[in-house]
Structure 1
Amino acid sequence: MIDDIQAKFRELYQQEPLLVRSPGRVNLIGEHTDYNDGFVLPAAINKEIFFAIAPNNTNQVRMYAFDLQESATFDVNHIQRSKTSWHNYLLGVIAQFQKGKYKVPGFDVVFGGNVPIGAGLSSSAAVECGLAFGLNHLFDFGLEKLSLVKMAQLAEHEYAGVMSGIMDQFASMFGKKNHAIKLDCRSLDYEYMDIDMQDYRIVLCDTRIKHSLAATEYNTRRKECEAGVALLRKHYPEITSLRDVTLPMLEQHQAEFDPVVYRRCTYVVQENNRVLVACQHLEEGDMQAFGQQMYVSHEGLQHDYEVSCPELDFLVDQTRPLKTVAGARMMGGGFGGCTINLVETAAVDAFTKQMADAYQKQFGVTLQLYIASIVDGSSLVDC
């Protein structure tokens, strides 16, 4: 695909571009913990957004979205939010450089890729990180990767209007081949965890459904978590987020909680603990034990955090009797998107057929499946 994007750039702008790739991500475990200052375990995968980019010696930014076959032009000196959503992922990044007092000259860019939209693989973070990486290199701004990650996250907040945690952008930028990233979302300390995928493959089952609840309920969950923290701070002033909360603290003050808020907080505290336990299993090479933590994570998301949906629950339940599946759970914000499954390599073909047949029979929808490999984060492309 990068060849097609490069060719389109040459056709549109009659010059040679810099080529950048920026991956989407999976999250093995640790869902809805990032914006609670918790732990996550993502990995960059071989579903990627590619960029062809070059300066144009004008005051204009000329963009072409390869997958949509749409173009747009903006004055680089008057960057503001657009009514067209895809514009904002790029404009937001430019705005962050400008806020940091980095002068962005006019440039041309063609971008596109194979990160499925709406599947929970963070196509938006891949776009933001790819452009940030490309501009930093193209104009020699000299920013470190962590600064680029923070800028990409702020672009998501301020221009895309989604108050995401930092996990997606961090995984896209800092990914490492054959490794997951154990990330502390409070301190941004991280550790690469070797993940042995010789005997297992990551298979993503995309429901191809995104229920309309997703955006509003995501923000509601954040507010519910904040309400829980506010209540507990009356007793424990040192608490700043659910990262600081223990299960005994919650249990001691359960009577003071709205029952829904209590369940939300309980899930987050338990999920943080699960990430740490799962990482221990990973260090021990025990993928079966790791997979069991995935199943427990899904049950918490389904019943306590209530961000699953019938399609996701069905797909996870279909895997439970299969000895060839170590673990499965919903992934991402919820109400649609993908399940992530750890499947024995030799059984992948049989698994994908069985899951597709069952989903078609149950919902009358063709299940989209992706076999993902863990790759490096954002980088230049050599051609």
Structure 2
Amino acid sequence: MLASRITAAFRQHFGSTPLVVRAPGRVNLIGEHTDYNGGFVLPAAVDKEIIFAVALNGTTTARLYAYDNQEHYATDLAALQPGQPQWANYLKGVVAQFQRRGVPVPGFDCVFGGNVPVGAGMSSSAAVECGLAFALDQLLGTHLERMELAHMAQKAEHEYAGVMCGLMDQFASLFGRDGQVVRLDCRSLAYAYFPFDTEACRLVLCNSGVKHSLADSEYNKRRQECERGVQLLQQHYPDVKSLRDATLAQLAQHQAAFDEVTYRRCRYVVQENQRVLDACEALQRRDLAAVGRLMHASHAGLRDEYEVSCPELDALEEAARGLPGVYGARMMGGGFGGCTLNLVAPAHVEAFIQTVGQAYQRRFGRPLETYQTSIVAGVSEVAGPAAAAHSA
């Protein structure tokens, strides 16, 4: 239905037949703020997605239409620069990555829109970047590997949106697999899939409804704190290139060299990497209770050591703890707002949503928005009349 609306809007605005692409958002089961530290993450693509309708237009101009905002924007592709509106930067940044690889990008028309909640920690920005990267790769016949497209989308966010994100969000959007989570080693880029049975356990997202303005600046600050920790460790352990290489014993041995904040940041990352590995083993055993315990431990670390939670997220995790049928809960995403991710037995989902919603309403005086998500495949062309017409 969403794809039909986006395709219809494209024909209305531009009058041609587009290539139609879907790009999913993602959840991250566990492994937060580990990606830019060369560590492990365990995301999955989910059924909240951005739909793109894209076609070449025979000019040197990109004509963009943000369906959800009902905003038009056009830019000369020979003179790309970040600017306003902010949403266009994610798209311009992707085009710039093709150009940097020596790929001439001719003018194109693009309509995009979707149902990935913005500011909820489900990586709507990565879905936007990956969807356009995939569409242009198809239209231009560049046949780039998906990992290359993920890196291009990541660089687009670095250079045009100013957020120094790791690779996880773009990777998850492109590499998702139906019914499975995927563990990515952010150092080697090796990855492996693990079963996640959404019949035995549902993924329920509780949206705090807040997005604190300090999220992006604090995110970049956390990266700098981790880099400072690595520099301190390298004085004693030259082989430590990132916190992925560090151990808790090494940190403890040289704690006196650290300021308290840097020490806590580093300790959290080292512990979180181990939690990802432990969660994968638990999934193979189908031990959801063990996965849930690791999620609660992850939240505690994000709250107390990495300090990227907020009262709303903490209240949601606390309300979920101990409820019937709830295996685990934790904040998800960069922090300071967004969602908690909750693993809930199917028979208890309705009661869970009601109980946590009431607790949130009492505490903060506003309703709680929740989403039930299923795990789906990564970025792909949308089959159907629009796709058939394009391929013909």
Q: Counterpart in 2 of 1:70? A: 71
Structure-2 separation of matches of 1:243 and 1:100? 30
SS in structure 1 at match of 2:16: coil
1:38-96 CA-to-partner distances (Å, cap 9, x unmatched) read 00000000000000111111111100000000001111222221221001000000000
Aligned: 1:139 with 2:140: yes
Task: Report the Cα offset of residue 323 of structure 1.
Answer: 2.8
- Tell me how large the CA RMSD over aligned residues is: 0.7
Amino acid at match of 1:260: V
Number of corresponding residues: 383
Greater mean alpha carbon deviation, residues 206-215 or residues 265-274: 206-215
Q: Which residue of 2 aligns with 1:60?
A: 61
- Distance in 2 (CA, whole Å) between partners of 1:4 and 1:212 is 32
C-alpha deviations, 1:124-176, integer Å up to 9, x for none? 00000000000000111111111111100000000011000000000000000
In structure 1, C-alpha distance between the alignment counterparts of 2:153 and 2:370, rounded to whole Å: 28
- Equivalent residue of 2:297, what SS? helix
Task: Measure the CA separation in 1 of the matches of 2:367 and 2:90.
Answer: 30
Distance 1:50 1:89 in 2: 15
CA distance in 1, matches of 2:30, 2:139: 35
CA distance in 2, matches of 1:100, 1:251: 44
1:215 is displaced (CA, Å) by: 1.4
Match of 2:267 in 1: 266
1:337 maps onto 2:338 in alignment: yes
Task: Please give the secondary structure, in 2, of the residue aligned with 1:130.
Answer: helix
Match of 2:21 in 1: 20
Task: Tell me what 1:181 maps to.
Answer: 182
Say whether residues 1:315 and 2:316 are aligned partners: yes
Letter in 2 for 1:284: R
Structure 1 outlier segments of 4+, above 2 Å: none
Give the structure 2 partner of residue 224 of structure 1.
225
Asked whether the 8 Å contact 2:52–2:132 carries over to 1, the reply is: yes
Structure 2 counterpart SS, 1:270: helix
Distance in 2 between the 1:365 and 1:323 partners?
Answer: 24
Q: Distance in 2 between matches of 1:241 and 1:352?
A: 40
Relative to the length of structure 1, the TM-score reads 0.99
Is 1:210 the counterpart of 2:174? The answer is no
* Aligned equivalent of 2:350: 349
Q: What SS does the aligned partner of 1:215 have?
A: helix
2:251 maps to which residue?
Answer: 250
Partner SS for 1:79: coil
The residue type equivalent to 1:97 in the other structure is F
Aligned mates of 1:126, 1:368 — CA distance in 2: 21
Residue 304 of structure 1 deviates from its aligned partner by 0.7
Separation in 2 of the partners of 1:193 and 1:82? 40
- Matched residue, 2:114: 113
Distance in 1 separating the partners of 2:219 and 2:19: 36
Q: Report the Cα distance in structure 2 between the residues aligned to 1:161 and 1:197, rounded to whole angstroms.
A: 36
Matched to 1:220, the amino acid is K
What secondary structure, in the 3-state scheme, does the structure 2 residue paired with 1:120 have? Answer: coil
CA distance in 1, matches of 2:322, 2:271: 25
1:362 matched residue in structure 2: 363
Query: 2:98 is aligned with what amino acid?
Result: F
If the length of structure 2 is used for normalisation, what is the TM-score? 0.97
Amino acid at match of 2:348: A
Letter in 2 for 1:271: E
Counterpart CA distance in 2 for 1:271 and 1:367 is 28
* Residue 270 of structure 1: how far off its partner (Å): 0.3
Aligned to 1:30: 31
- Letter of the 1:240 counterpart: K
Deviation at 1:238, TM superposition (A): 1.1
SS at match of 1:105: coil
> Residue 330 of structure 2 contacts residue 342 of structure 2 at CA under 8 Å; is this kept in 1?
yes
- Contact kept, 8 Å, 2:42 with 2:276, in 1: the verdict is yes
C-alpha distance in 2, partners of 1:265/1:311? 25
Distance 2:213 2:85 in 1: 19
- SS of 1:187's equivalent in the other structure is coil
Secondary structure of 2:48's counterpart equals: strand
Aligned match of 2:387:
none
Q: Matched residues, percent identical? A: 59
Cα deviation for residue 212 of structure 1 reads 2.2
In the other structure, the counterpart of 2:389 is none
Alignment gaps of 5+ in structure 1 = none
Deviations 1:312-362 (A, max 9, x none): 010000111213100000001111100000000111111111111111111
Asked if 1 retains the 8 angstrom alpha-carbon contact of 2:42 and 2:181, the reply is yes
Which residue is equivalent to 1:166? Answer: 167
Listed one character per residue, the Cα deviations across residues 170-214 of structure 1 (whole Å, up to 9, x for unaligned) are 000000000101000011100011112211100000001012221
Could you tell me how far apart the structure 2 residues matched to 1:275 and 1:93 are? 30
Contact 2:324 2:348 in 1 (8 A): no
CA distance in 1 between partners of 2:209 and 2:30 (Å):
21
Q: CA deviation at 1:217?
A: 1.2
SS of 1:352 mapped into structure 2: helix
Distance in 1 (CA, whole Å) between partners of 2:220 and 2:104 is: 34
Matched letter for residue 378 of structure 1: V
Q: Which secondary structure state, in structure 1, belongs to the residue aligned with residue 307 of structure 2? A: coil
Q: Distance in 1 between matches of 2:309 and 2:59?
A: 48
List gaps (5 residues or longer) in structure 2. Answer: 385-392
- Specify the SS of the correspondent of 2:103: coil
Any idea what SS the aligned residue of 2:192 has?
A: strand
